Amino acid sequence: MKIQNITKIISAIIGVLAAFFLLRIIGTGDDDIKMAATMGDFSTVSPLVELARIVLLITISVTLIFTFLGLFSDSAKLKKAALSVGMFLVVIAISYVLSDGVETPLKDGDVLSANASKWVGTGIRTFYILALVAISLMFFSGVTKIIKK
């Protein structure tokens, strides 16, 4: 049996299960679900949520497996991927060094620790650096195309 046929069968089974759970939720109705949720009963919605988690786990697993199989089959691809990951880690390290952490009170009364605050700043700075690099590369590519013509 081909892998394509197995994939189709598994997809059909997941689709039928999802449709069944969705129809069950729709048939129960919003008010009943809300009332049951206030008493801690999530049995109507939980199967669909668990199915979504299983599908997400399968998708991530298959993606990682085939990505690593593709990378390890060619040493040039592996070297390029390792270089890209290394450059990304350098950007994160630079962002971490540039960030400062300050204890911050939150709206719900909790306090965001200085370390967590520093990591939030790191994420924001990483985004800005990568966005700047992407915009610069698009600009450089456009200018290069204009000059070549």
Domain ranges, residue 102:
75-149
Q: Which of residues 47, 73, 99 is at a domain's end? A: 73
Element (H, E) at 112: strand 111-112
Among 50, 73, 96, where does a domain finish?
73
Q: Which two tokens stand for residue 94?
A: 């630079």
Q: How far apart are CA 58 and CA 94, in angstroms?
A: 34
DSSP string, 66-103: HHHHHHHT-HHHHHHHHHHHHHHHHHHHHHHHH-----
Is residue 105 within a helix (H) or strand (E), and if so which, with residue range? strand 104-105
Q: What is the pLDDT along the chain (149 residues), one digit of tens a residue?
A: 788 899 899 999 999 999 999 999 999 888 888 888 888 888 889 999 999 999 999 999 999 999 889 888 888 888 999 999 999 999 999 999 999 988 888 888 899 899 999 999 999 999 999 999 999 999 999 999 999 87
Looking at the fold, whether 69 and 79 belong to one and the same domain comes out as no
Structural domain count, the chain:
2
Pick from 84, 81, 57: which is nearest to 69 by CA? 81
> In this structure, are 84 and 33 located in the same domain?
no
